[in-house]
Structure 1
Amino acid sequence: MSKESAVFHRHLDHEFLSLARGDGNHLILENGQKILDASGGAAVGCIGWGNKRVAQAVMNQILDIPYCATVFYTTKVQEDLCRDLVDSTGGKMSRAYIVNSGSEAMEAALKLARQYFLELDPPQPQRAHFISREHSYHGITLGALAVGGHAFRRANFEPLLMKNASRVSPCFAFRGKEPGESDSDYVKRLAKQLDDEFQRVGPANVCAFIAEPIVGAALGCVPSVSGYFKAVRSVCDKYGALLIIDEVMCGMGRSGTLHAWEQEGIAPDIQTIGKALGGGYQPVAGVLANHRVVDAVARGTSAFVHGHTYQGHPAGCAAALEVQRIVREDGLLKNVQAMGDLLAKGLHERLAHHPNVGNIRGRGLFWGIEFVADKDPLLLFPDDAHVSMDICEMGLQKPYSINVYPASISTIIISPAFNATKEVIETIVETVSRLVSDYFGKVEAM
């Protein structure tokens, strides 16, 4: 790319690779280099690239009607997508709201949670406080950033962020469990901490607790331990607060079930979705709300005081609907489970004993590798280290030519397409293992 680019890139002093096209599990640069996309970008690509069926569905919709002013109209494609999403929850959720990004989805979820309490009879206007978790990420817009716990992304904008948000510890066994502590005792300790936070801010003031079933960008594929979400669901119910589950990165099949909460034995009041919803073929994300929330609005004003020019965008809905049909018709959730097991087994066999690999964790086709300076004793990399990004940048170069994704300072994410084959998974394992070994060998030699 030219240094005279007119694009306001994420980094103005970086020479970005020029992406020409995608083909299945690979990305092809303008110079012809072929890169194995082992992360689907930011865990977005779920059916690979170059799918003509999705492209045709989008093109057909654009030719029919490319835009819908939702203040006046609806479209069949939006109605069909929302029905498909609601039906996929087995009756747990009632309505869907389609937007264009995960950040937009979280903004809508926050407003919907607040409005829910205003619609009750009698209303509870004092409920305006949100509790989330440290080392979480819920979006880059100001509202979403305010309820998130991503310290680096918050830092420059702290004076602009709302103050009615607080955070508790994440459920992160690798770093959070005490020596000899059982999973059940760990869950009890975290549940008590959440309960204590409700008490500190006033239980009647809490609007919602927000959490990712599998923490994505902020920590790198950290699943909760068994029983955690049942415990926090109980705390929310005890005080009448809502539970917002953020599945923008880990949901829509990425974890092995269409909704990650299906593995937790609970259902949320409000859920955000994105990324694998449309597989990268159009910008699309969404919010799902349960009957409790929707019924309160319906009995009250019946109008959600929120809106976007491009909400329910027909082309985005067409892409998402076709991607979800492919996931279902091709049995891709079963493949996510099978290939996820193969990926986990391969990563553990090849890398678990590496002196700089501290933890390998994840579910489905959503796996993180956390690196440490030393694991005996456990010595974490300092906050100013750039280990994950350095590894990702090195991976893009020959002879590796592989795309993995950086999470936190020292964790990479591996999240290939749901239709990845055994051969693709084996290539990912071999290449990532070689990349990690070469990177730390190079560091030691310096």
Structure 2
Amino acid sequence: MAVALATQPKTPDSPPPDRLVEPAGADHVFYRSPGKRYPKAVRAEGVWIWDENGRRYLDGSSGACVVAIGHGVPEIREAALAQFDRIAFAHGSQFTTEACQEMAARVAALSSHPDLDKVYFVSGGSEAVETAVKMARQYWRERGMPERYKVISRWTAYHGNTAGALALGGHTSRRAPYMPLILHTPHIEPCYCYRCPFHRSPATCELECAEALERAVRYEGPDSIAAFIAEPVVGATAGALVPPEGYWPRIREICDRYGILLVADEVMTGVGRTGRPLALERWGVHADLVVLAKGLSSGYAPIGAVLVHRKVHDAIRDGSGRFVHGHTYGQHPVSMAVGAAVLRYMEEHDLVARSDAMGRVLLARLRQELGHHPHVGDIRGLGLFAGVELVSDRETREPFPAEARVAERVGAEAFRLGLVTYPGSGSVDGTRGDHILLCPPFVIRETEIDLLVTILTEAVDRVTGGETP
């Protein structure tokens, strides 16, 4: 049965511990949570961040699944300074740079497919998603099929915070405040094995979650579909949902059957996070457009990119000759130099293989310490990309009520104990469902993984009471 959540004592005269106590106007920053108190970060190295009071935090989420190679790598600083000495800015509509060309070559090398070899640069993940959608749209216009404009996506998905990306996302609480501003787009069920929307078990699975794509294509009309977009492993909205074997090959087969472009949103999963350069290639599948960001620069500079199949690039080059899209800071020379240095550093230190190896350690330790916890329903992931799903009742898989804000509270408690995590909610139905996403830098050591798991376990116990049903 479900149990009552542990509560924290409060006194009427004391503000909650995470609320601002500074006088109004003391800080001019408009924060994401305007009433929250944020410690001031002053230094970082490896997997650690220090605040102005000298307190140390283990970065168990790489910020927001960003810092791949670790904090404070001197080679990246040197690359940025060297580029500053050459040229700091040149607009992408007027110039190219050596740094941009090197970065493009290194991004193209992430894929094993020889025709995935053109790269369009932007400043972040949401921009990259919007760019991929526009590319898909223009591709079909260039081919004389302007009626192909719909992009199918999945529920329990996240593709960014701009209006177009929110329309593609499938997370109710993120979409709801902006519904009047976003277009309706077709969505299908997620591949969520722990909570299979088709009430299957692994033994009885017939990949209904993949077949849902073909059903949606037929309902919408095959000649109206431009693309299908999805995360190879779902990150922010559900905590490292790993698809069943056969899912991605079947999706690729359906896309090919109806001539639909496959867009892989690898903003979180790409650049080694799941233990492969591109997560989708774990299943022997290649996308037509790959969306990248976050680990692409390991957080040292804002970078996003779309890795583009030659057929899409050539259709535009040989058609109108111009991609009708662009951003001011695309191909920013310093960002390009930083990104190239990050990918070079990752290759020289074999960090993708390290992500794979240390990811196995992380999952093993999580399962050892939390695998039988009364309020942990599932532990899943690939590489250094792991999710812990929290439940009110382990036997029935009943989620906590949304108003209890369990993931948020576990994340806050872990933070107080010195661990940074990535809590999320809404995985069950867009509102209910709590999880903690863990995605530390690839340079994390086993002793640091042990500490991460110990702190997380204590945080879960403190918030849920650790009671056995």
TM-score normalized with structure 2 length:
0.90
Q: Secondary structure at the match of 2:404?
A: coil
Partner residue of 1:26?
48
Question: 2:113 matched to 1:96?
Answer: no
Q: Is the 8 A contact 2:193 2:201 kept in 1?
A: no
**Aligned equivalents of 2:338, 2:349: Cα separation in 1:** 16
- Aligned with residue 310 of structure 2, among 291, 306, 323: 291
- Please state how far the C-alpha of 1:212 moved relative to its aligned partner: 0.1
Q: Of the candidates 154, 159, 162, which is equivalent to residue 183 of structure 2?
A: 162
Which residue of 151, 161, 168 corresponds with 1:130? 151
Q: Which residue of 2 aligns with 1:141?
A: 162
Match for 1:15 among 24, 37, 41? 37
* Alpha-carbon distance between aligned partners in 2 of 1:56 and 1:23, rounded to the nearest angstrom: 16
Corresponding residue to 1:107 among 108, 122, 130: 130
Tell me which residue corresponds to 1:402: 419
5+ long unaligned stretches in structure 2: 1-19, 427-433
Show the counterpart of 2:274.
255
Aligned with residue 368 of structure 1, among 377, 387, 390: 387
The answer to whether the 8 A contact 2:406-2:463 is kept is no
**CA deviation vs aligned residue, 1:8-58 (integer Å, no higher than 9, x gap):** 111121112211121211110111110111110111011111111101111
Is the 2:46–2:444 Cα contact (8 Å) retained in structure 1?
A: no
Q: 1:42 aligns with which of 36, 48, 64?
A: 64
Q: What aligned pairs does 1:345-384 form with structure 2 within 5 A after superposition?
A: 345-384=364-403
Alignment of 1:3-402 (within 5 A): 3-4=24-25, 5-90=27-112, 91-120=114-143, 123-163=144-184, 165-176=185-196, 181-182=201-202, 185-187=205-207, 189-397=208-416, 400-402=417-419
Mapped partners of 2:306, 2:353: distance in 1: 25
C-alpha distance in structure 2 between counterparts of 1:403 and 1:195, whole Å: 40
**SS at 1:111's partner residue?**
helix
Select the residue among 412, 428, 453 that pairs with 1:429. 453
8 A Cα contact 1:368 1:413, kept in partner? yes
The one-letter code matched in structure 2 to 1:131 is I
Q: Tell me which amino acid in the other structure corresponds to 2:282.
A: Q
Question: Structure 1 residues 153 and 178, CA, compared in 2 at 3 Å: closer, same or farther?
Answer: closer
Q: Which runs of 4+ in 1 moved over 3 A?
A: 177-186
SS where residue 306 of structure 2 aligns? strand
What per-residue deviation string (whole Å, max 9, x for no partner) do you get for residues 355-403 of structure 1?
Answer: 0000001100000100000012221122333111111111111xx2111
Instruction: Return the alpha-carbon distance in structure 2 between the equivalents of residues 64 and 286 of structure 1.
Output: 23
Q: 2: CA distance between counterparts of 1:140 and 1:438? A: 32
The separation in 2 between residues aligned to 1:272 and 1:178, in whole angstroms, is 29
Q: Which amino acid aligns with 2:187?
A: R
- Number of paired residues? 438
AA partner of residue 244 (structure 2): V
Q: Deviations over 1:239-268 (max 9, x none)?
A: 111110000011110000010011021100
- Structure-to-structure mapping, 1:433-444, within 5 angstroms: 433-441=457-465
Q: Does the aligned pair in 2 maintain the 1:25–1:37 contact within 8 Å?
A: yes
Question: C-alpha displacement at 1:441, in angstroms?
Answer: 1.8
Secondary structure of 1:223's counterpart equals coil
Structure 1 residues 30 and 186: CA distance shift in structure 2, 3 A: farther
Structure 2: distance between partners of 1:110 and 1:293: 12
Deviation at 1:63, TM superposition (A): 2.2
Q: Distance in 2 between matches of 1:275 and 1:256?
A: 15
Equivalent residue number for residue 419 of structure 1: 443
- Residues of 1 paired with 2:73 and 2:88: CA distance? 20
CA RMSD of aligned residues (A): 1.6
In structure 1, give the amino acid aligned to 2:133. L
Q: Structure 1, unaligned stretches of length 5 or more?
A: none
SS in 1 for 2:153: strand
Secondary structure (helix, strand or coil) at the match of 1:396 reads helix
CA contact (8 A) 2:154 2:190 kept: yes
Identity score, percent: 36
The amino acid that maps onto 2:154 is R
TM value normalised by structure 1: 0.95
Label 1:205 to 1:178 Cα distance change in 2 as closer, same or farther (>3 A): closer
Cα gap change, 1:119/1:227 in structure 2, threshold over 3 Å: closer, same or farther? same
Q: Is the 8 A contact 1:177 1:186 kept in 2?
A: no
C-alpha contact (below 8 Å) 2:191/2:243 kept by paired residues: yes
Q: Decide whether aligned partners of structure 1 residues 264 and 347 sit closer, same or farther in structure 2, where only a CA change above 3 A counts.
A: same
Distance 2:334 2:436 in 1: 32
Give 1:312 deviation, angstroms.
0.5
Alpha-carbon displacement from aligned partner over 1:379-429 (angstroms, at most 9, x marks no partner) = 1122333111111111111xx211111122510111111111222222212
SS at match of 2:387: strand
